Amino acid sequence: MSEGNAQGGLKSGKVAALMVETLEAYGVEFIFGMEDPVQLYHHLNRERIRPITIRDEKHGAIMAHGYAKTAKRPGICAATFGPGATNLITGLLEAQKSSVPVIAFIQEIPASQRDRHASSEIDHVAALSPFTKKVYRIDTAERCCEIVRRAFRMATSGRPGPVAVLCPADVMTQQTEAAVYAEAAFATFPPYRQRPGRAELNAAAELLASAERPVIIAGGGSILSGASGQVIALAERLGAPVATTMTGRGTIPDAHPLALGALGSSTAGTLGRGRIANEAVAGADVVLICGSRTGQICYMNWQQPGPATKVIHLDIDPEEPGRNFPTALSLIGDVRETLAELAEHPATDRPGVAASVAKAYAGAKADWRTEFRAVAFNNATPARPERVLAEISDRMDENTILVNDASFVTGWSFSHVDNVVAGAEILSPRGTGGIGWSLPAALGAKLARPDARVVCIAGDGAFGYVMNELETASRYAIPVVMIVFNNATLGFQRHFENKLFGSYGECDLSDIDHAALARALKCEGERVSDPADFAAAIERGFASGKPYVIDAVIDPEAMAPIVGLDDVGVVGETH
C-alpha cells in the first residue's frame, strides 16, 4: 500500500498504465471482467492483479461483491461499452442496495464518436447513474489517477456502494503526467468511523436503561462495521435479547443465550425460528435498530415494531432513521463505535438482567430446535431441504462461509442454519432479493479468503441463471461446494400462484442432473436423493479441493417458512 500526495511528484506514462499502478497502490488483487477496457487489461501486471474472465458481466459485478464483502476491500469489475455495461446493472443494483463497495471500469467509445450511432453506443451516465453512487468519466488524461482515487473514496465512504468509471478509448492511450498514489484509508471499508454527539449518546443510554423489555436488532450494518463484539457487550450489559435481520446474521452466535435468530416474514412460518424474534420485537417497549434499512420483509410489512414501541435507530446513513418508523432517537454514526460508547455508559449497566431474560427465551429456542431437527433428520424420501440445512449447521465454524441465493433458499437458510458463530460470514442478495446470485458471489468470497470453506446454496431455478460460471470455477481452480436444491419447479412462484388462484401455470422445470452438468463443465459432482447420504456428500465436496456440485433432490412440496405461504400446498392443477 502506498500513500502520498500530488505534491510528491508526477509520473509520466500512458493513461492506462498509470491507472493500473494506482490500482496496485490500493492493493487490488483481482479484476472480474472480459478483457475490457482493453488498454487497462493490456497494462496489468498479472502477477499483482489477477484478471478473472467471467461468462457474463453481471456475474463479474456479483463476484466483485462477494470479494468485497469478504475481504472488506472494494471489489473491482469491468465491462465493455453498450450491452456489456448494461449487463452489469443487476449486479451493481444488488451492491447498491446491500451497501457494498464495487468499482466498475467500463470501456467507453472515443469522444469524437459520441452521439453518432457508433457501434454499441449508449449514454452510460444515464444508464448507470440510478444504480451507482457516482459515474465518473476520464475526460482528460492528466486526471486519470485522480478519478481512480475519487472512485475508491466514493465507494467506501459513508454508506458504501458501487461506483462506475468510464474509460474512453482515445484517452486511455494518451501519454500524460499524473500523481500515482493511493489514499490508504479508502482501500478498505469503513474508512472512518463517525460517532453521534455526546448528548445523543447519553439520551440513548438513558432510554435503553429505562426500558423494561428492550430488544436490539442487528442489521447488515452491524456486519459491515464489524460490530459483533460491541453488539454482544451491550446486550449482555443491558440484558437485551438480540434479533438480527437476514444480513445481520453472524453478529451474535446462535449459541448465545440472548440470541433470537433472524426476524421477519421469511423466517417465521411453519418450522421457522423467526417467530421467536418477531414475538420479542412485538413485545418490546424500546428497540435499538443497528445498521438496518428497515425493509418490508424483516419488519413484517412495517408492522413491527408497533406504534407503542420507542425506536432508537442507529445508522451511518442519515436518510435511514425515521424512513419507516417514527424514532424516539436518531443516532447517525458507525455501529461499532457507537455501540462501544453505549456499552461503556454507566446507565446501561443492569446487573443480573441478562440471565433472567435468557431464561425467558430458553424454552422457546429449545422447542424450536426439537421441532426442526425432528423434521430434518427424518430419513423419509423425497428428502426434505431441512436435512441439508441441518447438516450444514453441524459444520458451521469461523472458517466456513455460507452463500445463499434468494427465494425459498432465503427462508430455509436464515431460519434453519443453526450454530452460526460470532463473526460468521453469510452472504445473500437481500438488497433486491433477485435469484441467480450465489455461485458468482461464492467464487468472489473464496478468492478473498482462500483458506475458508465456502458452501453455496441455490434452488434449481436460481442455479439456471449462473451455472455457466462453473466453467469459470474450474478454469481458475476455485474450490467451492455448490448445493442445488433440485425440486424441478420454481417453488416460490408455484406456491404464490396456488395461494392466489388455487392453481399454477408454467412453473415446473425439467428434471436435470446438475452433477452431470458440473462434470461436463470440468467440475466434480454427485446426485443425492437419500437424506442419509447428504452428510457424506458435503464432506466429499469439502475434501475434493475442486469446485463440487451436489444435486440435492428434494421434495417439491417442501415449503419455506414464509408467513402467508406456509399454509398453501403446492399440488394444484396447471393452467
CA 164 – CA 131 distance, rounded (Å): 9
Which residues are 53's β-sheet partners?
Answer: 33
Mean per-residue pLDDT over the chain, rounded = 94
All cell numbers assigned to 154:
466514493
pLDDT number for residue 565: 80
pLDDT number for residue 489: 82
Helix, strand or coil, per DSSP, at residue 452: coil
- 570 vs 250, more confident: 250
**Predicted confidence (pLDDT) per residue in 310-364, tens digit:** 999 999 999 999 999 999 999 999 999 999 999 999 999 999 999 999 999 999 9
Count of Cβ atoms closer than 10 Å to residue 352 Cβ: 8
Provide the pLDDT confidence category of residue 499 given band limits of 50, 70 and 90.
confident
Helix, strand or coil, per DSSP, at residue 474: helix
Q: What is the pTM of this model?
A: 0.95
Residue with cell 423467526: 274
Residue 4 pLDDT greater than 70, yes or no: no
Q: Do the first three CATH levels of 198-362 and 377-574 match, i.e. the same topology?
A: yes
pLDDT number for residue 567: 62
CA 461 – CA 499 distance, rounded (Å): 20
pLDDT number for residue 75: 99
CA 74 – CA 133 distance, rounded (Å): 14
pLDDT number for residue 1: 52
CATH topology of domain 377-574: Rossmann fold (3.40.50)
Would you kindly state where each structural domain of the chain is located, as residue ranges? 6-187, 198-362, 377-574
Alpha helices in 195-261 (DSSP H): 198-210, 220-225, 228-238
Count of Cβ atoms closer than 10 Å to residue 53 Cβ: 14
Q: What CATH code would you report for 6-187?
A: 3.40.50.970
Provide the pLDDT confidence category of residue 5 given band limits of 50, 70 and 90.
very low
Residue 573 pLDDT greater than 70, yes or no: no
Residue with cell 452463500: 403
Which residues are 102's β-sheet partners?
Answer: 75
Q: Are the C-beta atoms of residues 348 and 237 closer than 8 Å to each other?
A: yes
Provide the pLDDT confidence category of residue 572 given band limits of 50, 70 and 90.
very low
- Mean pLDDT lowest for which of 79-83, 270-274, 450-454, 502-506? 502-506
Residue 574 pLDDT greater than 50, yes or no: no
- 247 vs 8, more confident: 247
Q: What is the DSSP letter of 489?
A: B
The CATH label, of 3.40.640.10, 1.10.10.1100, 3.40.50.1220, 3.40.50.300, for the domain at 198-362 is 3.40.50.1220
Q: What angle do CA 450, 452, 455 make, to 5 degrees?
A: 110
Q: Which residues contact 74 (CB under 8 A, 6 or more apart)?
A: 26, 68, 101, 102, 103, 152, 155, 156, 187, 189
Helix (H) or strand (E) holding 497: helix 491-501
All cell numbers assigned to 386:
431441512
CA 468 – CA 318 distance, rounded (Å): 40
Over residues 500-529, the mean pLDDT reads 93
**Predicted confidence (pLDDT) per residue in 378-419, tens digit:** 999 999 999 999 999 999 999 999 999 999 999 999 999 987
Provide the pLDDT confidence category of residue 569 given band limits of 50, 70 and 90.
very low
Alpha helices in 239-352 (DSSP H): 274-282, 335-344
**Predicted confidence (pLDDT) per residue in 474-493, tens digit:** 999 999 999 999 997 887 88
- 571 vs 208, more confident: 208
**Predicted confidence (pLDDT) per residue in 418-461, tens digit:** 878 766 789 999 999 999 999 999 999 999 999 999 999 999 99
Residue 566 pLDDT greater than 80, yes or no: no
Count of Cβ atoms closer than 10 Å to residue 12 Cβ: 10
